[in-house]
């Protein structure tokens, strides 16, 4: 690898103690194929610090109990910790009230909840739902499933050649038929940051609601649902240094109150009778949380958000921008490599294709050198088709990544490309 010239380092340093921060993540100490792990698949799932892992085991070791209905100490403690996360999520999103936070399995389930509950009640023939070309399948397929039942139309906001939303086209697509705009805040495939506040303002001008898929934004920037004037906002725990299987949906109070339950079972009822009309439902948000939730994961999500708050989400985003710039500058110098997604506002995602080399081969071979990147369609097939590719390689950054890791990745990429060409 000595034949590879590495660019001079940018002067920037992490705005936190990077060495100490890395030490909080046990997994970063492991090796893969005899090489130190360089984990650059953070847009798929970020790693978890010890305090999150400890929160999970502490729950099972000390106060494992079902929540809300128990009268014993363990149940009280579990309920308090569980509801404590709801307050933490409220603060994280700057929601007005913790009752606006519904726990879900993640972003996907949160979007399906809105589709099945709000959508079934409010959409029908003649209506339109606007999504964008940048959407993850999670924000496409729930609407398609519903559209085939209810007969509304889905329209797609296009992107320009850099992967930024075409705002002129958006304005033209909006009409009195538009009932909902469902867009991501940050694209997982390209890293594009969407101007959600402006999208929201324009949607509301037309009397439409806006649902924001914040799966990729929550780990990288401060979220203020009131400032964005988002009607619904969704994110996943496992992308914000938390556990899998948990996430949250924010909704405006009046909307949530007017929406029917979407799943039935325990926890979401007030009274149940064999006469269907005799069954009544719990208040928001509990009416949307049927069954025993992922208690340990919700509690650990609270710990993850506390960790993010401690480091500062803005500092994290700032550092990821340094890493992204350092990586982009170097990979752009590689012969035949093309970056897909060069929007002016981007989060820490670097998607690229290499002439004469399959993304899959690059992914497999670079893994042999200890570097974890993602290859494939990133659950955004329509977007990749738009750019004329089936798959890209994607490196995505998190708080704990270092400039040295970026250099290792670039050197490994050079080596792998030489092997496959």
Query: Which residues contact ligand PMP (rule: CB under 6 A)?
Result: 44, 106-108, 136, 138, 184, 188, 213, 215-216, 236, 247, 379
Assess whether the previous peptide bond of 285 is cis (omega < 30° from 0): yes
* Smallest gap from residue 259 Cβ to ligand PMP (A): 20
Residue 29 is given by DSSP the state G
Q: Is the dihedral of CA 15, 214, 22, 32 positive or negative?
A: negative
Residue 191 gets the label, from left (phi > 0), alpha (psi -120 to 50) or beta, of: left
User: In this complex, which beta carbon is closest to ligand PMP, that of residue 140 or of residue 416?
Assistant: 140
User: In this complex, which beta carbon is closest to ligand PMP, that of residue 22 or of residue 185?
Assistant: 185
From the candidates 52, 379, 403, 416, give the one annotated as an active-site residue: 379
User: In this complex, which beta carbon is closest to ligand PMP, that of residue 38 or of residue 379?
Assistant: 379
**Tokens linked to 99:** 């009752």
- Residue 270 neighbours by CB under 8 Å, 6+ apart: 280, 281, 282
414 vs 316: CA distance, rounded Å: 28
* Smallest gap from residue 214 Cβ to ligand PMP (A): 8
- φ and ψ of 201, to 5 deg: -60, -45
- Residue 4 neighbours by CB under 8 Å, 6+ apart: 410, 411, 414
* Smallest gap from residue 136 Cβ to ligand PMP (A): 3
* Smallest gap from residue 16 Cβ to ligand PMP (A): 25
CA distances from 42 to 34, 57, 100, 174, 395 (A): 21, 23, 28, 34, 8
Q: Are 107 and 244 in contact (CB under 8 A)?
A: no
* Smallest gap from residue 248 Cβ to ligand PMP (A): 11
**Tokens linked to 163:** 């992967």
User: In this complex, which beta carbon is closest to ligand PMP, that of residue 144 or of residue 279?
Assistant: 144
421 vs 412: CA distance, rounded Å: 14
**Tokens linked to 319:** 């550092």
CB atoms closer than 10 angstroms to residue 41: 18
* Smallest gap from residue 355 Cβ to ligand PMP (A): 27
User: In this complex, which beta carbon is closest to ligand PMP, that of residue 78 or of residue 234?
Assistant: 234
* Strand pairing report for 38-39 and 371-372: parallel
340 vs 355: CA distance, rounded Å: 13
User: In this complex, which beta carbon is closest to ligand PMP, that of residue 126 or of residue 291?
Assistant: 291
294 burial level (CB within 10 Å; 0-12, 13-18, 19+): buried
Residue 5 is given by DSSP the state P
| Residue given tokens 């949530």 in the structure block | 256
* Smallest gap from residue 44 Cβ to ligand PMP (A): 6
Residue 379: active-site member? yes
User: In this complex, which beta carbon is closest to ligand PMP, that of residue 368 or of residue 381?
Assistant: 381
Residues tagged active-site: 379
């Amino acid at each position: 690898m000595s034949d590879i010239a590495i660019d001079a380092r940018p002067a920037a340093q992490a705005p936190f103690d990077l060495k100490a921060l890395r030490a909080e993540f046990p997994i970063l100490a492991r090796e893969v194929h005899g090489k130190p792990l360089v984990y650059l698949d953070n847009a798929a799932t970020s790693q978890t610090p010890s305090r999150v892992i400890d929160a999970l085991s502490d729950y099972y070791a000390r106060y494992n109990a079902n929540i809300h209905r128990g009268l014993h100490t363990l149940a009280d403690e579990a309920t308090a910790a569980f509801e404590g996360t709801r307050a933490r999520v409220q603060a994280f999103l700057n929601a007005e009230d913790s009752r606006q936070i519904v726990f879900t399995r993640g972003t996907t389930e949160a979007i399906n909840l809105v589709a099945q509950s709000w959508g079934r009640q409010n959409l029908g023939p003649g209506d339109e739902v606007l999504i964008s070309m940048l959407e993850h399948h999670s924000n496409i397929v729930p609407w398609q499933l519903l559209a085939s039942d209810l007969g509304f139309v889905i329209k797609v906001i296009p992107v320009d050649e850099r992967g930024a939303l075409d705002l002129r086209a958006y304005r033209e697509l909006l009409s009195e038929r538009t009932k909902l705009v469902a867009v991501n805040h940050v694209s997982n495939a390209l890293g594009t940051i969407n101007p959600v506040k402006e999208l929201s303002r324009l949607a509301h001008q037309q009397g439409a609601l806006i649902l924001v898929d914040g799966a990729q934004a929550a780990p990288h920037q401060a979220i203020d649902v009131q400032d964005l004037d988002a009607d619904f906002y969704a994110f996943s725990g496992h992308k914000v240094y938390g556990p899998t299987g948990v996430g949250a949906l924010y909704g405006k109070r009046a909307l949530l109150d007017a929406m029917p339950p979407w799943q039935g079972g325990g926890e979401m009822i007030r009274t149940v009778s064999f006469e269907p009309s005799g069954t009544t439902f719990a208040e928001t948000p509990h009416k949307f949380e049927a069954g025993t939730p992922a208690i340990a994961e919700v509690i650990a999500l609270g710990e993850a958000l506390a960790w993010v708050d401690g480091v500062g989400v803005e500092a994290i985003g700032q550092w990821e921008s340094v890493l992204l710039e350092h990586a982009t500058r170097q990979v752009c110098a590689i012969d035949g490599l093309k970056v897909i997604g060069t929007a002016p506002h981007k989060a820490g995602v670097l998607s690229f294709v290499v002439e004469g080399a399959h993304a899959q081969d690059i992914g497999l071979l670079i893994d042999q050198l200890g570097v974890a990147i993602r290859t494939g369609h990133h659950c955004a097939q329509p977007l990749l088709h738009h750019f004329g590719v089936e798959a890209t390689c994607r490196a995505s950054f998190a708080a704990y990544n270092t400039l040295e890791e970026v250099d290792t990745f670039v050197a490994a990429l050079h080596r792998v490309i030489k092997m496959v060409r």
